[in-house]
Homo-oligomer: A and B are copies of this chain.
Amino acid sequence: MTLKQLTSTDLAYIAGFVDGDGCINAQIVRRPDYVLGFQIRLSITLFQKTARHWFLLHMQKQIGYGTVRKRPDGVSEYALVGATSVKNLLGVLLPFLRLKKRQALLVLEVIDTLSKSQDPQAFLKLCEMVDTIADLNDSKKRILRASVVRSELGLDSESIPCRD
């Protein structure tokens, strides 16, 4: 199965499920081997009690991307990680998303900009978009915010407001 074979009712169903219980996300993660020391991790994740693991496998089969794993806490996770799979799925889901459309648009914008530029100032702008996505997702986990990237890339002075 490929995404192009999915009908509009399949896509609407998946969009409804993602809006209900999925997560469209971008996160700043430390990557000492990267030029700037940080990476932006893009993902779409669906959750389900491991008792209904079959359902996530069924979704994975339909979507054709991503991996399903059983977490030790009894919840299974189906995750698509990385620009290519996230961009492809969001591209087809976008017309059907209602609740998480803003996250989807921001993630797509981050992906398109990431591929173009990696200078510190441009990267920081992307990190600020990542902050917005985290806020839209009511993220409560301890996460890296753009302010950390700003400070560690030595871009702090840029944020001092002008004084007359």
Q: List residues of chain A with CB under 8 Å of any chain B CB.
A: 8-22, 46, 48-49, 51-52, 55, 58, 96, 98-99, 138
Contact = CB atoms under 8 A, between A and B. Distances in A.
Report how many copies the assembly holds.
2
Given A16-B20, A21-B21, A99 B52 contact: yes
A99 B16 contact: no
A28 B12 CA distance: 34
9 contacts: A8-B9, A12-B12, A12-B13, A13-B13, A13-B15, A13-B16, A13-B98, A20-B22, A58-B98
A98 B49 contact: no
Nearest to A97: B13
Nearest to A58: B98
A9 B96 contact: yes
